[in-house]
Amino acid sequence: MNINKMQLVFLFFLALTITLKAQVPTGANLDFSSNNYTNWTAKEGSYQASTSSTPSWAWSTTYNDPTLATDGGGRLFEIYTDTAATDPRTSAHPIKKIPANWGYTHSSLINNANGDGNCSQLQYTMEVNSQNSLLTFNYAMVLEAPGHQGYENPTFQIDVMKHDPNNPSLMLNQLVDDCAFFEKQGATSAVDNITWFKDNSTYDPWVWCKWQQIKVNLAKFIGDRVTLRIRLGDCAFTAHGAYGYVVAKAEAPVVEVAGCAGEGDTVTLAHAPTGFESYKWFEIPELTSNQTDLEGYATTNTPVGTDSVLVVTEAMMGNATQKFYAVELVSPRTQTTRPNCKAYISAKVNDARPRLDNFTYIPVDPEDPQNKVGFVFADVQASGNAYFLGWQKFDFGDGDSLIFTFDNNKWKIDSTTLTSRTTVKHSLVDPSIVDTVYHTYQNNGTYQVTRCAQTSVDAECDSCRKCKTIEVIVPERPTLSFIDRDTICFGFNDTITAISPNNVDTANYKYEWWSENQAYTDPPMFVGKQYIAQNLTQTTIFKVRVTDTITNFYRKNNDTIYVQAFPDIKLTGDTIICLGNQASINANDATGETVAMQWSFIQPSTPAVITNPSTNPTLNYTPTKDTTIYLIAQTSQGCVAWKSVRLHIVDPRLKADKTKICDGESVVLTGSNAVSYSFTANPPDASLTENTKTTEPVTVSPLQTTTYTMKGYGSNDCFAERQITIIVEPHPVATISYSPSYVDVDVPILAIKDDSPNGVYSAWTFSDGGTSNARTINYTFHDLSKDSVQISLISSNSLGCSDTTQVRVPIELFAVWIPNAFTPNGDGSNDYFFFKTLNQLEDVNFEVFNRWGQQLYKYSEKVLNASDISDITKFGWDGKFKNEYVPSGTYQWKFTYKREGNPRVYKRTGVINVIR
């Protein structure tokens, strides 16, 4: 019997109920297997009124026998039975008239190629129950593609419609599911060379789709009726045709799969129908046809397969003899605006193969001179009660075999297969029951022993057979021990020699080495008798196997190399001390392995050697200078290490990041060459916390020149002092002095001086863009366009600390106005003659003369302010000489003066007219 014939194919049958007569069908003849249209009805009519946006199914005739419907092209409905027949128009990618690959033997034509504006419909009404709730319909359509608009083209539609539960004979205008509607118009745009194809016609080509398979879940309509409708229409202009092929079925969404797929890891194969867009297999807790439950499992359970065939393996079955699976089938769709139809089929899988889990063997006893191997004869059983085991065979791998047959409820040995090298041990409890099978091997070696069991007594039949092969090694066992140092120092090497002292001939022995963490199945890290373990840093176990390469008999053993750490010495004590103090240095070994030590003032050699061993861990020593002390330590295994410590005589150092600062700045004082430090200040510095020990630098901000004293402490609190003086220079106070107090437009020169207290350096900036660094400067201003000038000063001390100020100096425009006439008649108007000015004058002389040079009037003043001459009646000429008015006429005047801060003498002359 061929093993493939034992595989049960996952068949999915579809039941559809269409209300036709008083007895409502439940899916019978959906597949036209009766070779007639029993339970089907047909309609025929006109498609000519269709528009681009609306199809017009104008039915004129209903047929209980669809074979009676014809048009100019012949029959509109015809049943086909030839599974090899193909559609003549689709030769490039031929459509078979019957989809036999899906198990069908019949199909029906709907409409024909005559494009006379006709439309045709097949429909089937059925009552849904639990045994037909999975509806499958298949279609292949051929449409002419004239390039009209929308539904004016040849068109097909397929839908599944609801019925009124309260009036079952009434079909509602409602789909059973949004996905249960399929349509296409004849158009070359439909061609994708995958589902839709076209012929080579230039004008009005034919396009077609090969067989499509759709499954619709009707579980929600159990007890109700549904109707399947298939419609085709020629083009609306009676010039282009459309026809197709359909077939359907209905079935319960449950199938049972008996598991017996043959030998190996495969238990069975579960087949889902082909032709769907996608598949998703998943395990379910129990067999169910409830589509809602299955849809929930599909959402939450991890998929175990995504092909149409589910390979059920031993790993999937585990120790179970029965498992339940389901598959989600996603049907193709014709409209992207609608969802794909999804249906679910559940399956029960039985593992009916023999169980060989307990097939083990008893190795050769090292003390037994015979190469006898025992095989545990634990009784094998089928996975379930559906199959009966009738035959077993042991193949010992050396040419011998042993066959058992099941007879009268007992396993019976086929005596023709029993040799002197094979014996059977029976149970002490029941002597008729085989307990162990022993086989003696003539030669050492590795043998592949196979045990097979099957359900048939016929050894030539492959029905439900399962075999299991195990490897049996029959060796001679060498001895194994080691020669090594047993314990070594950290990081040292050790040479390990593997020996087989009890074996005479070891020339063919192979020694293989593994680390402790490796498995013997891993490649060995070394092959050879002598292994050098390098740089060992911890106690290490080596796994060694010696194998007789002639007999393949081996022995395993472990060798442990203990690693002793080098002394981990820590030296503690006062290492920074004052001159004359004693240092006490203590040694401690963290490993605890030190057994001898030696103190020295000379650096040890390499390797270090102890010449005067001691066990004293303490050294008391009074150094006179900085000194290095060494300690050599040695363990019981001779692991030697040394450590050193440096003794320092306290000689503290004190430094400052700067020794001159301006008031308000900070200085960082840093001590070194001591353990800790404290500071005092003279005079006292409020920014310093005095006499407080610290190991960190301190920051001070002296307000005046200050001397700081630092104490540097040793490990034992002794100390030495160091001093440093920080010079504090006060900030300058920027002060400007200048003369005169104004800028004379005639002589725009100021004498300017930096009078800043604490100032040393000057930086002048003038409003006309000039600059200077002189402490005193006579500066000439060149820009007198405004009413004043600005002087800016940055005055700095010797450290660059500075202060800034600025002053504005008014520009003085000097003017003296002298009238040329006046009327001295005592009327109170213009009775006096005098000059006018807004400025201060010095050394003033103002005189009036007649034409003979006689002085008539004189005014003199050392300093004259403008405010002093606001009332000229006090000192102006009243036009009199010797108390008499002078005659009308012209008189001479003479005027001399100086300006404030200006040594120049200004001289002016002119005439004054006396009018009466």
Peptide bond into 683 cis (omega under 30): yes
Gap between the Cα atoms of 25 and 35, Å rounded: 17
Specify the 3-state DSSP secondary structure of 657: coil
Section 139-158 average pLDDT: 94
Percent of the chain topping pLDDT 70: 92
Section 620-649 average pLDDT: 92
pLDDT in tens, 390-421: 778 889 999 899 888 877 767 788 878 888 88
- Supply the pLDDT for residue 20: 32
Give, as one character, the DSSP assignment of residue 189.
G
Amino acid at 635: T
Query: Residues for the chain: how many in total?
Result: 916
Specify the 3-state DSSP secondary structure of 739: strand
3-state SS string for 609-634: CCCCCECCCEEEECCCCCEEEEEEEE
Between 150 and 266, residue with greater pLDDT: 150
Give, as one character, the DSSP assignment of residue 317.
H
Tokens of 176: 């059973």
CA atoms within 13 A on the CB side of 184: 23
CA neighbor of 485 nearest in space, from 543, 560, 592, 544: 560
743 close to 781: Cβ distance less than 8 angstroms: yes
43 close to 121: Cβ distance less than 8 angstroms: yes
Gap between the Cα atoms of 685 and 126, Å rounded: 110
Question: For strand 640-649 and strand 576-577, is the pairing parallel, antiparallel, or unpaired?
Answer: parallel
CA atoms within 13 A on the CB side of 159: 17
Between 153 and 873, residue with greater pLDDT: 153
pLDDT in tens, 563-590: 999 899 999 988 888 888 888 999 999 9
Gap between the Cα atoms of 612 and 594, Å rounded: 15
Specify the 3-state DSSP secondary structure of 188: helix
pLDDT in tens, 6-59: 333 332 222 223 333 347 899 999 999 999 999 999 999 999 989 999 999 999
Tokens of 730: 């006060």
392: Cβ–Cβ under 8 A, 6 or more apart, which residues?
380, 403, 404, 405, 411, 451, 452, 453
Q: pLDDT at residue 343 above 60?
A: yes
- Supply the pLDDT for residue 297: 86
CA neighbor of 466 nearest in space, from 475, 456, 476: 456
139 close to 208: Cβ distance less than 8 angstroms: no
pLDDT in tens, 355-374: 776 778 888 876 565 778 88
Tokens of 295: 């849809």
813: Cβ–Cβ under 8 A, 6 or more apart, which residues?
745
800: Cβ–Cβ under 8 A, 6 or more apart, which residues?
none
628 close to 601: Cβ distance less than 8 angstroms: yes
Specify the 3-state DSSP secondary structure of 294: helix
- Supply the pLDDT for residue 11: 27
202: Cβ–Cβ under 8 A, 6 or more apart, which residues?
none
pLDDT in tens, 88-128: 999 889 999 999 988 999 999 999 999 999 999 999 999 99
- Supply the pLDDT for residue 365: 72
List, in sequence order, every beta strand (DSSP E) within 117-251. Answer: 118-127, 134-144, 155-164, 167-175, 181-185, 196-198, 206-217, 225-233, 242-251
303 close to 282: Cβ distance less than 8 angstroms: yes
- Supply the pLDDT for residue 7: 33
Gap between the Cα atoms of 442 and 465, Å rounded: 30
Burial of 338 (0-12, 13-18, 19+ CB in 10 A): middle
- Cα torsion angle, 87, 246, 181, 214, sign: negative
Tokens of 257: 């799969």
- Supply the pLDDT for residue 668: 96
Tokens of 354: 């023999």
Section 528-553 average pLDDT: 89
* Full DSSP string of 109-154: EES-S--SSEEEEEEEEEE--TTS-EEEEEEEEEEE-----GGGS-
For 363, 370, 371, 373, 544, the CA distances from 366, given in Å and listed in that order, are 9, 9, 9, 11, 18
206: Cβ–Cβ under 8 A, 6 or more apart, which residues?
89, 90, 142, 143, 144, 145, 198, 199
Tokens of 597: 């030590």
Gap between the Cα atoms of 407 and 390, Å rounded: 8
Indicate the pLDDT class of residue 443, thresholds 50, 70 and 90.
confident
Percent of the chain topping pLDDT 90: 54
Gap between the Cα atoms of 648 and 662, Å rounded: 38
Q: pLDDT at residue 187 above 90?
A: no
Burial of 831 (0-12, 13-18, 19+ CB in 10 A): middle
Tokens of 882: 């010797």
